[in-house]
Copies of this chain bind each other. A is one copy, B any other.
Amino acid sequence: MKIHYLDNNATTRMDDEVLKAMMPYMTDNYANASGVYSFGQDARKAVEDARAVTAKFFNADDPREIIFTSGGTESDNIAIRGAALANAAKGKHIITSAIEHHAVLNVCKALEKEGYEVTYLPVDKYGVVNPDDVKKAIRPDTVLISIMAANNETGSIQPVAEIGAIAREQKIIFHTDAVQAAGKYPIDVKAMNADLVSISAHKFYGPKGVGALYIRKGVKVSAIMQGGHHENRKRPGTENVPGIVGLAKACSVAMDSFKNPKAHEKVKMLRDKLQAGIFEKIPEVILNGHPENRTENTLNVSVKFIEGEGMLIQMDFEGICASSGSACTSGSLDPSHVLLAMGLDHGTAHGSIRFSLSKYTTQEDIDAVLKALPPAVEKLRNMSPFWKNRVTA
């Protein structure tokens, strides 16, 4: 069956160019980048060239400000735990938001058990953090502020530049999880006033199992794993050379795409078509996330009176891949913490479905959804006790 893949916030298809860049390092150029011989130095060069490209992607001054990790989760863990531990002398209060990814939230929760205090800021109905709330939450012992750049479930873009400016003024370390922003719009550590920025390659046409963390010069971060002296002693382990090369290629593909934003415009255009089509064809739907200030590829809606899973499975029968809540917590019974934080009730949160497009998404994919979703909704609503009650009421 033809697959209509609309779950690109979960993961993306690798760009052919990325795979092509990686191939030599998975075949002939297999050396360990720590080897002293030329063959190893070639691998070292590949890693350091990748670091330079990645630094550019972040608009960082110095490639040494980049470390490579095993993914967004590890980048977030190093950033938050690493900065919290290294700067504990300053204080043990952390500010984050209720809508962060679990890779941020659960590190914060673990730190709470270890004597840290964490403020989880609320969001407005669009799922956006208010910089004023950040300002109000700051205490003398606040050591770290971590607010994501764009949310994975709703796509809502956060005012990180303002928040970063507040943090900078107060000399508080500012981390932003830019996993969902990377590749969609330029990431600029200077404009964001960010000290720590996480990305994950597989979210923007790069390989799985590799990520990066920007660590501003002078910002102290402890390693969370111990071993060899790799990655500026911040992240031990034999370098994943193909992965790192792939991440850098994904960065350079993205930088090119920002220069000629046609592909981005197409994604947004298709996303808007999908949105319009759903609202036209299905009654009682609400948009989750900011109507405008949202990543170009994300559409999250709640279809009232039914639950997401049934829709997903029904769509799967037609080859459509979408998600409900974030992929990494599926199997969990709780509705999305992000939607609940936005004020949705349990039922409506349970009825959410997320479509996330990519540069490979076609009109055909959109048409497939607009064909499959309305009957799926009808089927599920017809067996929902709430739907009937509502209509007959």
Q: Which chain B residues border A228 with CB–CB below 8 Å?
A: 73, 102-103, 326, 328-329
B323 touches A36 (CB 8 A): yes
Report the separation of the CA atoms of residues A40 and B101 in the bound assembly, to the nearest whole angstrom.
20
Stretch of A143-151, A168-176, A309-317 at the chain-chain interface: A309-317
Contact with B along A300-313 (1 / 0, CB 8 A): 00000000010011
Set of chain B residues within 8 Å of A236, measured between Cβ atoms: 73, 102-103, 106, 328
Contact present for A227 and B102 (CB under 8 Å): yes
**Interface segment, A7-15, A115-123, A269-277?**
A7-15
* Interchain CA distance A245-B118 in the complex, whole Å: 39
Closest B residue, CB atoms, query A322? B37
The answer to whether B316 and A38 touch across the interface, beta carbons within 8 angstroms, is: yes
Residue of B nearest to A38 (CB): B316
Q: Say whether A19 contacts B11, CB under 8 Å.
A: no
A164 contacts partner chain B, Cβ-Cβ < 8 Å: no
A136 CB to nearest chain B CB (Å): 27
Q: How large is the interface on A (under 10, 10 to 19, 20 to 34, 35 or more residues)?
A: 35 or more
Q: Which of A27-35, A259-267, A374-382 contacts B (4 or more CB under 8 A)?
A: A27-35
A302 to chain B, nearest CB (A): 17
Pairs across A and B, CB under 8 Å, 22 listed: A7-B37, A10-B238, A14-B30, A19-B27, A34-B330, A34-B331, A36-B323, A37-B316, A37-B322, A40-B321, A70-B240, A71-B237, A72-B237, A73-B225, A73-B238, A103-B226, A107-B225, A109-B226, A208-B239, A209-B240, A209-B242, A229-B329
| Top 4 A-B residue pairs of the complex, sorted by shortest distance between their CB atoms | A209-B240, A228-B328, A70-B70, A106-B226
Which residues of A line the B interface, CB within 8 A?
A: 3, 5, 7, 10-14, 19, 22, 26-27, 30-32, 34-40, 70-74, 76-77, 101-103, 106-107, 109-110, 200, 202, 207-210, 224-230, 236-243, 309, 312-313, 315-316, 319-324, 326-332
